[in-house]
């Protein structure tokens, strides 16, 4: 197969084009959906191609616009909503939790609510307390919601297409720092099944479970670990609900050690759930206590001196694995990341958003 | 209207048997709106509703057996016993669902309106809600969007003066009517007597013609009164949040009796006709309760089914 590299944001854009082309019932709306920047480039060209009836900007009414998506979905429409930050969506938790998530169950399976809600997560550049929360654990806690968090361009496309054509409400989490990550992306109606993790690197020393942006940090970390003779499994969850327990369990059974990475706050996190369940069900397979790396239980700070200690990365992962193996593994900045400030994903990012 | 009344009052009588084990909000006294709007709508029009939804469901033609079985928590209920009194559905007649969060189905009704626009049919989506819902952000957001996109939505606000025990006067300025809020957003809106079935039918039918012509949403505020307690089968005027006198004043405007008297005066109906209708409804209601009582409860294995579609 010919390699066809695309950036993550282009992969999202392509998925939206494919979905709208394939099914006239797919509509796309959200604040800024058809503005000149097209939500970080992800919605560019949609209005031109599919018209203003199917692609439109919306009033700043997050809660009702979610209820409107639910109502439309009850009559065969497949709405894709976009919010430029997860934080802006919190007003809509009522419609999401009280209606979308349970409509199918509470009416005895008579209706389904096929809506996809794209939420973009901020990080760095002083995004601070209300522009960078990842509340993925909230969503994963609600019965009836699926939660998707891709890390690669190819998964962004494949998972978004599967989300749009899934009969259930899906929360699709896009880390802003991933938008420029590039990778091979198959053309056409390419889908990645929801609920399936992917083992990106193989090794016997430990299992590193990651998702979204922390998958990128995990891949950096295992390069350093590998240079030191330590090979780890990297399990990219891709879907946070339903979790792919089979893949997690089979990796932990092999390695006996578990480190879970999370892009949200630590307490009651998705990582907590994975650590708990592995401890309960695979206790005898474990060679040591499982660990997790997540954000401290504080609101996101703004100042760079504070974000530097707040966010975790490859160095923390290497250190944690070293401690778990009782091995002294020096960290090495293989990608020369320290040449660029810690609060941007790369020199392409000049802020402000 | 009589049908709704007799169903509600039978529930009230039999609720103390403790076999209907879910919060139940009766609409006795408010039936004219449900009956007249339901009659004015077409079967393929959509309705969404609230915690007090029995009248809306039955008015739209919802299946009585399935509703009673739902209230009894039975597997034959319209929501398979998973929803109860506050979560009714009958897709076959366009009753798309009722939920128990104040204002929560208003945007769902507008979304159904959006779907109608996208599919290019001449259906209408009707959202029922109460006076309390007009204090929710969703009310303004939803009316705004319906006006913005000229969606085929009929908003029906049943103003029964109380949000549980809180009177309207402690919640909204006394000289401002709810329908004027919709008007201010740009939605044609009017007020009407919610206990006069004939005038409701005429007003709503006129509005529906307008909506079907593509002229956008329409809003009604109908004044009415719930006779019984907010939730449950009893009368609660003894609590002191409203006076018995106020209740008696409203009872004089009983929508069912009013229509009967009008029809008798006009000789459109005879007393014998009314008695025959009552006997017929009694039989249907008795059969529905019997169906609900005799139906099986859901199997325990149902608990984990239907979380995902």
| pLDDT digits 0-9 by tens, A233-242 | 999 999 999 9
Residues from chain A that touch B97, judged by Cβ atoms under 8 A, are 74, 103, 107, 111
pLDDT tens digits for A169-217?
A: 999 999 999 999 999 999 999 999 999 999 999 999 999 999 999 999 9
Question: Where in chain A does DSSP place strands (E)?
Answer: 5-7, 26-29, 55-56, 78-83, 116-121, 146-148, 170-175, 182-184, 198-201, 206-210, 232-236, 239-241, 258-265, 291-295
**Mean pLDDT value across chain B:** 97
Q: Are residues A177 and A275 in the same domain?
A: no
CATH number at residue A233: 3.40.50.920
Query: Taking the domains of chain B in order of start, what are their residue ranges?
Result: 2-296
Q: Are residues A82 and A112 in the same domain?
A: yes
Nearest to B306 among A75, A94, A104 (CB): A104
Q: Are residues A178 and A36 in the same domain?
A: yes
A65 interface with B at CB cutoff 8 Å: yes
Q: Are residues A42 and A127 in the same domain?
A: yes
Q: Are residues A166 and A280 in the same domain?
A: no
Contact B117, B110 (CB under 8 A): no
Candidates B115, B152, B155, B214, partner chain A, best to mutate (most A CBs within 10 A): B115
Q: Are residues A147 and A230 in the same domain?
A: no
Q: Are residues A158 and A285 in the same domain?
A: no
Q: What residue in B sits closest to A92 (Cα-Cα)?
A: B138
Task: Give domain status of residue A351, yes or no.
Answer: no
Candidates A106, A167, A170, partner chain B, best to mutate (most B CBs within 10 A): A106
Residues from chain B that touch A106, judged by Cβ atoms under 8 A, are 79, 82-83, 87, 99
The structure's pTM equals 0.97
State the pLDDT confidence band at B68, using cuts at 50, 70 and 90.
very high
Domain holding A172, by residue range, is 5-184
Cβ A71–B113 below 8 Å, yes or no?
Answer: yes
B96 interface with A at CB cutoff 8 Å: yes
The angle subtended at Cα A167 by Cα A165 and Cα A173, nearest 5°, is 65
CATH number at residue A161: 3.40.50.970
State the pLDDT confidence band at A338, using cuts at 50, 70 and 90.
confident
Nearest to A106 among B82, B114, B142 (CB): B82
Tell which of A184, A217, A249 closes a domain.
A184
Residues from chain A that touch B306, judged by Cβ atoms under 8 A, are 104-105, 108-109
**Whole-number percent of chain A with pLDDT over 70:** 99
Report how far residue A67's alpha carbon sits from residue A40's, in angstroms, rounded to the nearest whole number: 25
pLDDT tens digits for B161-197?
A: 999 999 999 999 999 999 999 999 999 999 999 999 9
Report how far residue A212's alpha carbon sits from residue A257's, in angstroms, rounded to the nearest whole number: 21
The C-alpha torsion from A14 through A15 and A16 to A20, rounded to 10°, is 100
Report how far residue B56's alpha carbon sits from residue B32's, in angstroms, rounded to the nearest whole number: 10
Q: Are residues A132 and A225 in the same domain?
A: no
Nearest to A67 among B91, B111, B115 (CB): B111
Q: Which of A14, A62, A174, A273 is catalytic?
A: A62
Cβ B114–A77 below 8 Å, yes or no?
Answer: yes
B109 interface with A at CB cutoff 8 Å: yes
State the pLDDT confidence band at A341, using cuts at 50, 70 and 90.
confident
What does residue B148 show for φ and ψ, rounded to 5 degrees?
A: -55, -45
Q: Is the dihedral of CA A67, A73, A77, A81 positive or negative?
A: positive
pLDDT higher than threshold 70 for residue A1: no
Task: Give domain status of residue A246, yes or no.
Answer: yes
Residues from chain B that touch A25, judged by Cβ atoms under 8 A, are 118
- CATH class of the domain whose range is B2-296: alpha beta
pLDDT higher than threshold 90 for residue A345: no
What pLDDT does A350 receive? 76
Cβ A65–B145 below 8 Å, yes or no?
Answer: yes
Mean pLDDT across the stretch B129-140?
Answer: 98
What pLDDT does A310 receive? 97
Q: What residue in B sits closest to A166 (Cα-Cα)?
A: B309
**Mean pLDDT value across chain A:** 96
B81 interface with A at CB cutoff 8 Å: yes
pLDDT tens digits for A94-144?
A: 999 999 999 999 999 999 999 999 999 999 999 999 999 999 999 999 999
pLDDT higher than threshold 70 for residue B158: yes
Tell which of A152, A184, A216 closes a domain.
A184
Q: Are strands B218-223 and B189-193 parallel, antiparallel or unpaired?
A: parallel
Report how far residue B98's alpha carbon sits from residue B52's, in angstroms, rounded to the nearest whole number: 8
Give the count of Cβ contacts less than 8 A between chain A and B. 151
Task: Give domain status of residue A193, yes or no.
Answer: no
Residues from chain B that touch A193, judged by Cβ atoms under 8 A, are none
Cβ A69–B116 below 8 Å, yes or no?
Answer: no
Tell which of A151, A184, A217 closes a domain.
A184
Cis peptide before A242 (omega within 30 of 0): yes
B124 interface with A at CB cutoff 8 Å: no
Among this protein's residues, is A131 annotated catalytic? Answer: yes
Cβ A104–B309 below 8 Å, yes or no?
Answer: yes
Report how far residue A36's alpha carbon sits from residue A229's, in angstroms, rounded to the nearest whole number: 49
Q: Are residues A292 and A210 in the same domain?
A: yes
Cβ B79–A68 below 8 Å, yes or no?
Answer: no
Cβ A74–B115 below 8 Å, yes or no?
Answer: yes
Q: What's the number of domains chain A is made of?
A: 2
Q: What residue in A sits closest to B308 (Cα-Cα)?
A: A144
Q: What is the ipTM of this complex?
A: 0.97
B73 interface with A at CB cutoff 8 Å: no
Q: Are residues A211 and A170 in the same domain?
A: no
Task: Give domain status of residue A345, yes or no.
Answer: no
Report how far residue B79's alpha carbon sits from residue B90's, in angstroms, rounded to the nearest whole number: 9
Q: Are residues A31 and A163 in the same domain?
A: yes
> H-helix or E-strand containing A312?
none
The C-alpha torsion from A114 through A117 and A118 to A121, rounded to 10°, is -140
Q: Are residues A179 and A204 in the same domain?
A: no
Candidates B110, B141, B143, partner chain A, best to mutate (most A CBs within 10 A): B141
Task: Give domain status of residue A349, yes or no.
Answer: no
Mean pLDDT across the stretch B185-214?
Answer: 98
Among this protein's residues, is A17 annotated catalytic? Answer: no
Task: Give domain status of residue A347, yes or no.
Answer: no
């Amino acid at each position: 197969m010919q390699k066809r590299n695309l950036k993550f944001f282009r992969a999202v854009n392509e998925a939206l084009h494919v979905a709208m082309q394939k099914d006239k019932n797919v509509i796309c709306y959200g604040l800024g959906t058809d503005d000149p920047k097209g939500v970080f480039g992800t919605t560019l060209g949609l209005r031109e191609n599919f018209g203003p009836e199917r692609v439109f900007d919306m009033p700043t009414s997050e809660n009702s616009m979610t209820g409107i998506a639910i109502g439309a979905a009850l009559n065969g429409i497949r709405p894709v909503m976009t919010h430029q930050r997860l934080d802006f969506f919190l007003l809509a938790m009522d419609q999401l939790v009280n209606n979308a998530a349970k409509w199918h169950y509470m009416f005895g399976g008579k209706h389904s609510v096929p809506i996809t809600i794209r939420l973009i997560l901020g990080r760095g550049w002083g995004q601070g307390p209300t522009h960078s929360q990842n509340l993925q654990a909230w969503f994963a806690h609600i019965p009836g919601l699926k939660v998707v968090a891709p890390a690669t361009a190819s998964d962004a496309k494949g998972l978004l297409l599967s989300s749009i054509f899934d009969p259930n409400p899906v929360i699709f989490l896009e880390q802003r720092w991933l938008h420029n990550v590039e990778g091979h992306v198959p053309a056409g109606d390419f889908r990645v099944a929801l609920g399936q993790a992917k083992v990106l690197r193989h090794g016997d020393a430990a299992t590193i479970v990651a998702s979204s942006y922390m998958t990128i940090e995990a891949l950096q970390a295992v390069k350093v670990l590998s240079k030191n003779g330590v090979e780890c499994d990297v399990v990219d969850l891709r879907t946070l609900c339903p979790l792919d327990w089979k893949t997690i369990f089979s990796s932990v059974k092999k390695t006996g050690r578990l480190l879970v990475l999370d892009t949200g706050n630590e307490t009651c996190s998705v990582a907590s759930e994975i650590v708990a369940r592995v401890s309960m069900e695979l206790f005898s397979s474990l060679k040591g206590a499982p660990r997790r790396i997540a954000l401290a239980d504080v609101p996101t700070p703004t100042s760079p001196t504070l974000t530097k200690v707040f966010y975790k990365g490859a160095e923390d992962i290497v250190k944690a694995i070293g401690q778990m193996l009782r091995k002294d593994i020096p960290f090495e900045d293989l990608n020369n990341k320290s040449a660029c400030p810690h609060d941007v994903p790369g020199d392409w990012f000049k802020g402000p958003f | 209207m009589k049908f709704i009344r007799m169903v509600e009052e039978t529930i009230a009588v039999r609720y103390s048997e403790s076999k209907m084990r879910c919060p139940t909000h009766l609409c006795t006294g408010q039936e004219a709106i449900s009956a007249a709007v339901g009659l004015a709508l077409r079967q393929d029009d959509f309705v969404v509703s609230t915690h007090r939804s029995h009248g809306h469901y039955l008015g739209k033609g919802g299946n009585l057996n399935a509703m009673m079985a739902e209230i009894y928590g039975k597997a034959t209920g319209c929501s398979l016993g998973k929803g109860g009194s506050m979560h009714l559905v009958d897709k076959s007649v366009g009753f798309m669902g009722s939920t128990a969060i104040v204002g929560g189905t208003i945007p769902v009704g507008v979304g159904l309106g959006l779907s109608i626009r996208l599919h290019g049919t001449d259906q209408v989506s009707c959202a029922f809600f109460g006076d309390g819902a007009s204090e929710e952000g969703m009310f303004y957001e939803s009316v705004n969007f319906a006006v913005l996109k000229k969606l085929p939505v009929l908003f029906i606000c049943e103003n029964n003066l109380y949000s549980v025990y809180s009177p309207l006067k402690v919640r909204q300025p006394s000289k401002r009517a709810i329908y004027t809020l919709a008007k201010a957003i740009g939605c044609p809106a009017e007020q009407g007597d919610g206990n006069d079935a004939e005038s409701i039918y005429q007003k709503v039918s006129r509005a529906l013609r307008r909506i079907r012509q593509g002229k956008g949403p329409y809003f009604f505020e109908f004044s009415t009164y719930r006779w019984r307690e907010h939730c449950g089968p009893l009368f609660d005027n003894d609590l002191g949040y409203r006076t018995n006198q106020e209740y008696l004043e409203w009872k004089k405007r009983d929508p069912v009796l009013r229509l009967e008297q009008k029809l008798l005066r006009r000789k459109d109906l005879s007393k014998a006709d009314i008695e025959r209708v009552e006997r017929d409804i009694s039989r249907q209601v008795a059969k529905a309760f019997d169906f609900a009582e005799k139906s099986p409860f859901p199997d325990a294995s149902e608990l984990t089914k239907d979380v995902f579609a």
